[in-house]
């Protein structure tokens, strides 16, 4: 293993890192397959790819979390083996993950120097030196907070800057940033870009992951596109967005969303009337905004209704109330003209509703139970005769639906935890195919799902609606909403901001409704919450 700072002076074009033919498999998935990547000093190298394309696995190799099965990683022409976070640190590689690794209860300075605090002669922490060092680093990232501030008091953008300061304190020559802009407002993004450009000009090599294509031209120098675990192209950052999408997806968008729209509207299945839920405490006379208010819509047999809106617009809360998971304060939910009891999941299921929740692992799956148990969980009632469960029948039903959904598994006894994201999602959806679900509510159904599984999920949506069932789909992936929905409902701040038929639903039209909020928060950048491609 070679130190990075030993030999080469800080020229800007020298090669910092090279990955050649890097391959990594996990049980059931080949996450990376012969990936090549080079990083030079003084460049911002954008890593682009859909969810599941292998970006995370790739950067985890550089930060010492995973090790390649095959292929080699070289730093300054010498092969290196990054076995731990410490190895990465010695090589000058710092990673800023999406989930920050700061300790909220400690101060900014303590976080920056965590585990490396300067000591006094007595062995105590030398606070003075530490704060002075921290102040200098904070100045470099243009973060104007006292080093003694507890991290808990900082917003997300400032915490990110603290992470960058920490990376600088480690003399990082390679900075890996995993979707740093995903949680920032547009003003904060500009500040971040300013800091990143300065680092680049100082000769640091930056690997930058983003889903926002417009950021690539603004910040990047080169782009490596990953698709299904392979590096499919390395192109200049000036490449057009359409070309980038084509490289990323591997086909035209039209093919990616194989929606066959119904000929005419079917019979109304679900009617939601002035559904309202007040925020907790609102009834005591505070002015808190309702979680959702006065929501009216219907879903007809055979259609896909998209539910678009910014994160926090109340979409998930709305569908959870419709499905009986959470309470609501006013309004009605009707199925086939019959009013559904409030807060009663079982009644909703009997009426033909099913919900694929947003948080697959936390709410959709029993991770350490078998696929058979997971697939048959929602039909446990109907498989029970006089208290006894028909396990044979369950096995046959689970096998049939796993086959239909092409779940990639070693067998029905496999635990849900060990499946890939896409296959896990198929299991959650399969659970509702095994009940008589007539209206399937999907909350972010393709988040963290690979391209192949995505298309399979879309096909399944087509099959369901062709059979006269209906789908209500929440998605923050705008192209997906537009590509799959027959109608798009847009929510903004707990209200239904509008409804667009498929023909009129464009990204601009949806976005305009989504940000047309009564009152507050209009300065929030709308692009942050959508994957605009």
Partner 1 sequence: MSAELKKAVPAEAAGRAPDRGGPGPWFSRAVLRNGPLGGLIALAAVMAVLSRDFLNGQNLLNVGVQASVTAILAFGVTFVIVSAGIDLSVGSVAGLSAIVVAWAATDRGLPVWTAVLLGLAVGAAAGLASGALVAHGRLPAFIATLAMLSVGRGLALVLSGGSPIAFPASVSALGDTLGGWLPVPVLVMIAMGLIAALILARTYTGRAMFAIGGNEEAARLSGIDVKRRKLVIYALSGLFAAVAGIVLAARLTSAQPQAAMGYELDAIAAVVIGGASLSGGSGKASGTLIGALILAVLRNGLNLLSVSAFWQQVATGLVIALAVLLDTLRRRSAR
Residues found near partner 1 in the complex (CB under 8 A): 65-67, 323, 325, 345-346, 349, 355, 357, 362-369, 373, 377-378, 380-381, 384, 387-389, 391, 417, 431
> In degrees, to the nearest 5, what angle opens at C-alpha 352 toward C-alphas 292 and 496?
20
Nearer to partner 1, 147 or 357 (CB): 357
- Shortest Cβ distance from residue 17 to partner 1 (Å)? 21
Nearer to partner 1, 76 or 431 (CB): 431
Nearer to partner 1, 32 or 195 (CB): 32
Beta-carbon contacts of 467 under 8 Å, excluding residues fewer than 6 positions away, are none
Nearer to partner 1, 341 or 380 (CB): 380
Nearer to partner 1, 29 or 237 (CB): 29
Are 19 and 57 in contact by the 8 Å Cβ rule? The answer is no
- Shortest Cβ distance from residue 390 to partner 1 (Å)? 9
- Shortest Cβ distance from residue 490 to partner 1 (Å)? 26
Are 424 and 223 in contact by the 8 Å Cβ rule? The answer is no
Nearer to partner 1, 123 or 387 (CB): 387
Cα-Cα-Cα-Cα dihedral sign, residues 136, 138, 144, 150: negative
- Shortest Cβ distance from residue 31 to partner 1 (Å)? 12
- Shortest Cβ distance from residue 393 to partner 1 (Å)? 12
Nearer to partner 1, 125 or 345 (CB): 345
- Shortest Cβ distance from residue 346 to partner 1 (Å)? 5
Cα-Cα-Cα-Cα dihedral sign, residues 170, 48, 523, 199: positive
DSSP 385-431: ETTEE-HHHHHHHHHHHHHHTT---S-TTSBGGGS-HHHHHHHHHHH
Matching residue, tokens 């990232």 = 141
Other CB atoms within a 10 A radius of the CB of residue 199 amount to 22
Q: What are φ and ψ of residue 25, in 5° steps? A: -115, 145
Nearer to partner 1, 373 or 531 (CB): 373
- Distance separating alpha carbons of residues 111 and 114, to the nearest angstrom: 5
- Distance separating alpha carbons of residues 523 and 288, to the nearest angstrom: 20
- Shortest Cβ distance from residue 289 to partner 1 (Å)? 26
- Shortest Cβ distance from residue 188 to partner 1 (Å)? 29
- Shortest Cβ distance from residue 261 to partner 1 (Å)? 30
Beta-carbon contacts of 260 under 8 Å, excluding residues fewer than 6 positions away, are 462, 466
- Distance separating alpha carbons of residues 480 and 497, to the nearest angstrom: 19
SS3 assignment, position 18: strand
**Among candidate residues 507, 499, 501, 503, the one with its CA nearest the CA of residue 477:** 507
């Amino acid at each position: 293993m070679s130190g990075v700072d030993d030999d080469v002076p800080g020229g800007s074009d020298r090669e910092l890192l090279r990955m050649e033919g890097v391959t990594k498999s996990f049980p059931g998935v080949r996450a990376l397959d012969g990936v090549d990547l080079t990083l030079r000093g003084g460049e911002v190298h954008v890593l682009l790819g859909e969810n599941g394309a292998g970006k995370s696995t790739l950067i985890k190799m550089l930060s010492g979390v995973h090790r390649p099965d095959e292929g080699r990683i070289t730093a300054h022409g010498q092969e290196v083996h990054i076995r731990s976070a410490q190895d990465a640190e010695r090589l000058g590689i710092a990673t800023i993950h999406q989930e920050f690794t700061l300790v909220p209860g400690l101060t900014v300075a303590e976080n920056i120097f965590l585990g490396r605090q300067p000591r006094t002669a007595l062995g105590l922490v030398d606070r003075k030196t530490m704060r002075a060092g921290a102040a200098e680093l904070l100045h470099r990232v243009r973060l104007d907070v006292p080093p003694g501030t507890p991290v808990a008091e900082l917003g997300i953008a400032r915490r990110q800057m603290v992470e960058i300061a920490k990376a600088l304190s480690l003399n990082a020559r390679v900075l890996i940033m995993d979707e740093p802009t995903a949680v920032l407002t547009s003003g904060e993004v500009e500040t971040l870009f300013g800091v990143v450009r300065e680092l680049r000009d100082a000769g640091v090599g930056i690997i930058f992951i983003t889903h926002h294509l417009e950021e690539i031209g603004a910040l990047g120098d080169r782009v490596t596109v990953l698709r299904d675990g392979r590096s499919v192209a390395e192109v200049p950052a000036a490449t057009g967005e359409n070309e980038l999408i084509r490289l990323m997806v591997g086909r035209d968008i039209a093919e990616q969303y194989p929606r066959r729209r119904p000929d005419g509207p079917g019979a109304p299945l679900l009617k939601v009337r002035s559904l309202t839920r007040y925020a907790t405490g609102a009834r005591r006379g505070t002015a808190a905004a309702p979680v959702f208010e006065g929501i009216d819509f219907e879903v007809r047999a055979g259609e896909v209704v998209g539910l678009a809106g910014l994160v926090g617009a109340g979409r998930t809360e709305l569908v959870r109330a419709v499905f009986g998971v959470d309470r609501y304060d006013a309004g009605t939910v009707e199925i086939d003209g019959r009013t559904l009891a409030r807060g009663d999941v079982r009644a909703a299921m009997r009426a033909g509703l099913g919900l694929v929740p947003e948080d697959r692992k936390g709410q959709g799956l029993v991770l350490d139970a078998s696929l058979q148990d997971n697939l048959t969980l929602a039909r446990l009632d109907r498989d029970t005769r006089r208290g006894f469960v028909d396990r044979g029948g369950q096995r046959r039903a689970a096998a049939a639906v796993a086959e239909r959904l092409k779940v990639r598994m070693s067998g029905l006894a496999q635990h849900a935890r060990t499946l890939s994201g896409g296959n896990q999602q198929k299991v959650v959806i399969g659970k509702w195919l095994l009940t008589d679900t007539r209206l399937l509510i999907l909350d972010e159904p393709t988040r963290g799902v690979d391209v192949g599984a995505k298309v399979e999920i879309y096909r399944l949506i087509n099959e369901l609606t062709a059979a006269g069932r209906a789908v209500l789909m929440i998605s923050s992936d705008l192209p997906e909403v537009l590509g799959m929905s027959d109608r798009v409902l847009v929510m903004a701040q707990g209200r239904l901001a509008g409804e667009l038929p498929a023909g009129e639903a464009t990204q601009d039209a949806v976005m305009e409704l989504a940000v047309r909020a009564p009152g507050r928060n209009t300065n929030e950048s709308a692009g942050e919450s959508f994957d605009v491609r």
